[in-house]
Amino acid sequence: MKSVRIAILFCSAGALILPAAFAQPGKGAGKTARYYDPAAETTISGTILDVQQYQRGRVPGVHLVLKVESGTVDVRLGPSTYISNEGFVFAKGDTVQILGAKTRNGAQAAIIAREVTKDGKKLILRDATGRPLWAGAARRVTG
Query: Is 17 inside a domain boundary?
Result: no
Query: Is 14 inside a domain boundary?
Result: no
Handedness of CA 65, 27, 31, 129 (dihedral sign): positive
Residue 47: give its domain's CATH number: 2.40.50.140
Query: Is 16 inside a domain boundary?
Result: no
CA distance 85 to 67: 26
Residue in 88, 95, 103 with CA at minimum distance from that of residue 133: 88
What does each of the 143 residues of the chain score in pLDDT, given as a tens digit? Answer: 555 454 444 444 444 433 333 333 334 444 445 678 899 999 999 999 999 998 877 888 999 999 999 899 999 999 999 999 999 999 999 999 999 999 855 566 789 999 999 999 999 999 999 999 998 644 444 44
Number of domains in the chain: 1
Query: Is 15 inside a domain boundary?
Result: no
Amino acid, res. 86: E
Query: Is 94 inside a domain boundary?
Result: yes
